[in-house]
Structure 1
Amino acid sequence: MNTQGAHHYIEKGIETWLDHKNYFEAIDLFSRALEFEPHNPDAHLLRGAVYVDVGDLHLALKDYNKALEYNPENIGLFFDKGTVLFYLGEYDKAIRSYEKFLKEEPTDVDALYFKGLSHHFIRENEVAQELINRALALIDKSDDLYPDLCNAKGEILFDLEDYPEAIDYFQKAAEADPTSFIAQYNIGRAFYEMGKLEDALKYIEQALKIEPNEWDVINYQGLILMDMGRREEAIQCFDRIIELHPIYFPAWYNKGVVLKELGRTEEALEHLDQAIKLILDKKPGMTRGMCLREFKKL
């Protein structure tokens, strides 16, 4: 009787989720299935997947953990769990989950990619590069993941300060996916680090043609213009970001720096104070001194 009840609600939940895209009703149906069978791994797995779709990653993780507790042989779920942990920023835990998956599926390109990125984000770039290289060796240029892998390889090389080689991989990503602003942006960043400001500006402007309102890209455009001595144009970039996204503190800080260079000290201090206020609103435990150290990282 209980088994039939759980099965009914699971089937109904799948239909509601996949066919009708009614996510919250599907969550309720899987929850009702779990009232019949609290240890049903499929109901936990499915409810977790719907939580992913609605962006509630913490609840998704709880369900995935329950599903693995009741069915530890579901190797594929270690990939899903790893990806939830990845997007939660818990890279060490994500790595451990991907390792369990890759032990059984060593040639899974997506797992190699996400595990590589996880290592990259915790500054383990040598390990990250090895994983991304393995993934690149397993696919051809027509694969949808190819530009992402090239970007990842480029970002690793960028962090290793091998800018010419990084540019080579960013260009491969741009050729594979001309509609993506990220590769153009990354090429611009690499040229900027090499001091090639004209080249950097060209690629940043190409990125903005694709994605004109991307704050980080506009901010980089402003930084390049600052370094070129084109301060009024730089201010226009930072003003544009402030208009689009007024809580983006780097724009306030960078505009303050330009105003100071122009001798407009009072305005500069107002902008620097606003940048500090925005950081303190986001991280109340910080001090003004800590904020100033944060600015040095920009």
Structure 2
Amino acid sequence: MELNDWNDAERRAERAAELFEQRKWSEALRELQFAVTVNPYNAAWLFNLGLTLDELGRGAEAVKAYRQALELEPEDTATLQRLGAALQRLGQPGNALECFERLAAAHPDLEPAYCPQIACHVELGDHERAEECFYLARQLVEHCPACYFHIGCSLLARGNWDRAIYCFRQTYELQPLHPQVAMKLAEAYRRKGEPERARRWYLARLRQAPLDTAALLELARLLIEMGRLDDAAERIASAAQISPQDPGVHFARGLLLLRRGLHADAIDALQRVLHLDPTYPAAHLRLGEIRLAMRQVIEARTHLRSEVLRQPQDPQTLKDLANLLIDTGETRSAVACLRRLTAMRPDDVHAWQNLAVALLLRGQLEDGMAACRRALDIHPGYPPVVFNLGLALAQAGRFNEAARLVASVRAGAPHHADLDLLALRIRVLRWRARLARLFERLLGLR
């Protein structure tokens, strides 16, 4: 390699930096590619190459450049941060976490080493470690909007609505223009059962970004849930003007048509969704719901099984899917969905209650009763669970246990109609068992 080539590489690397500042990334990329070809041992140039590729949306190539830079300078702070962030964007939280852990080991007093770890742990479902990293980060920077946001996502995933809302509000106060926090606040209020507050936060996001189709469509879905169908139709039409081929537009239209009872039109809209994106979340679920409403059980099962194979992660989708699977007699798949849901939401009494029902329908009395008891640990005396547990105990011939359960709950709710019905059912089952034993003895005497 001649000296002129080295000098030319230096000049072109400097020129690349100028072009990068001017946001002329394609031109900057050409200059940097020449420079690193001449000198592949300059870590700064490789880092800048990664930055440029990142800006061009070429994440996998950016990761390669950052890794090459790290081979030359293994503990460089900026490179570890950028590599970790690039891996996160590529959906590789485990690999990203390794980068941030290396950064924390090399620089234990650096808050940005801990903040992104929270997001990685949330994506990996390790919420306990997410909280640990949150408190480590707060020891270095007490009020970081990103830390509050990430831990808010963890709390939202676990169904801790109030704490999630608190954290998202902290993010909003610290960084009002955060691009995702208004949507997360809307989601949290929606899941908590406060649709009007959720609606206001979707509108807040649309004031920030009027062309955000995701916000328009989520608002439309909320309005459908609220029964404001004409308003929902307007939002869907707005989203369709912005992005007519977005499968989410057709999905929202399908939900609207379903709510209006137009089953054939809803099926057409949802089939269009699957044509555009065969893996679109909950499309098969809603088609299954429609087919079941039309008493087309075989077709409903086909769609529901397709949704199961997609392995949904959204808690509400899992809950709705499990209920429909139970209605179509697919209790084995329902149990699988509900076990996944209870693992995600271990404190969700309704998830444990539904799991108990699915298990009892399958004749798995002991497992069903265990799920009932777990639900009662969360919500003592919850009548639907008490009823199911008492009935299961009676069916298992454990009548005294069933009677004690009724008596213990009745002490706190003496006039509850369900308890009276349960007590009657237990007495009937006890007498039926006694009569069966009596007939067995009589037949034995003969």
Q: Which moved more, 1:108-117 or 1:247-256?
A: 247-256
2:259 alignment counterpart: 261
1:59 alignment counterpart: 61
Per the TM alignment, residue 235 of structure 1 is displaced from its structure 2 partner at its CA by 2.4
Deviations 1:115-163 (A, max 9, x none): 211121122222122212322332254xxxx322222221111111110
Per the TM alignment, residue 168 of structure 1 is displaced from its structure 2 partner at its CA by 1.0
RCO (CA 8 Å, sep 6+): is it higher in 1 or 2?
1
- Structure 1 residues 154-165: aligned runs within 5 Å: 154-165=152-163
TM-score under structure 1 normalisation? 0.84
Whether the aligned pair in 2 keeps the contact of 1:10 and 1:30 (CA below 8 Å) is no
Whether the aligned pair in 2 keeps the contact of 1:153 and 1:169 (CA below 8 Å) is yes
1:201 alignment counterpart: 199
Structure 2 unpaired stretches of 5+: 285-301, 321-446
Whether the aligned pair in 1 keeps the contact of 2:186 and 2:200 (CA below 8 Å) is yes
1:14 alignment counterpart: 14
- Structure 1 residues 282-297: aligned runs within 5 Å: 292=307, 296=317
Whether the aligned pair in 1 keeps the contact of 2:273 and 2:280 (CA below 8 Å) is no
Q: C-alpha separation between the residues in 2 aligned to 1:40 and 1:178? A: 40
2:104 alignment counterpart: 102
Whether the aligned pair in 2 keeps the contact of 1:180 and 1:210 (CA below 8 Å) is no
Whether the aligned pair in 2 keeps the contact of 1:116 and 1:131 (CA below 8 Å) is yes
Whether the aligned pair in 2 keeps the contact of 1:13 and 1:27 (CA below 8 Å) is no
2:209 alignment counterpart: 211
AA paired with 2:203? E
Per the TM alignment, residue 90 of structure 1 is displaced from its structure 2 partner at its CA by 1.3
- Call closer, same or farther: CA 1:4–1:288 in 2, change over 3 Å: farther
Structure 1 unpaired stretches of 5+: none
Whether the aligned pair in 2 keeps the contact of 1:151 and 1:183 (CA below 8 Å) is yes
- Call closer, same or farther: CA 1:2–1:44 in 2, change over 3 Å: farther
Q: Select 1:270's aligned residue among 256, 268, 271.
A: 268
Deviations 1:254-289 (A, max 9, x none): 321221232222321221111111212989xx9966
Q: C-alpha separation between the residues in 2 aligned to 1:116 and 1:219? A: 28
Q: C-alpha separation between the residues in 1 aligned to 2:226 and 2:262? A: 19
Per the TM alignment, residue 4 of structure 1 is displaced from its structure 2 partner at its CA by 7.0
Q: C-alpha separation between the residues in 2 aligned to 1:116 and 1:233? A: 38
Whether the aligned pair in 2 keeps the contact of 1:10 and 1:29 (CA below 8 Å) is no
Q: Which moved more, 1:236-245 or 1:8-17?
A: 8-17
1:185 alignment counterpart: 183
- Structure 1 residues 14-93: aligned runs within 5 Å: 14-18=14-18, 21=22, 22-74=24-76, 76-93=78-95
- Call closer, same or farther: CA 1:133–1:211 in 2, change over 3 Å: farther
In the comparison of the two structures, how many residue pairs are matched? 292
Q: C-alpha separation between the residues in 2 aligned to 1:90 and 1:181? A: 22
- Call closer, same or farther: CA 1:150–1:165 in 2, change over 3 Å: same
1:152 alignment counterpart: 150
- Call closer, same or farther: CA 1:51–1:235 in 2, change over 3 Å: same
Q: Select 1:124's aligned residue among 123, 126, 129.
A: 126
Corresponding residue SS for 1:12:
helix
Whether the aligned pair in 2 keeps the contact of 1:157 and 1:163 (CA below 8 Å) is yes
Q: Which moved more, 1:170-179 or 1:66-75?
A: 66-75
- Call closer, same or farther: CA 1:7–1:234 in 2, change over 3 Å: same
Per the TM alignment, residue 75 of structure 1 is displaced from its structure 2 partner at its CA by 5.0
- Call closer, same or farther: CA 1:253–1:290 in 2, change over 3 Å: farther
TM-score under structure 2 normalisation? 0.58
Per the TM alignment, residue 182 of structure 1 is displaced from its structure 2 partner at its CA by 3.0
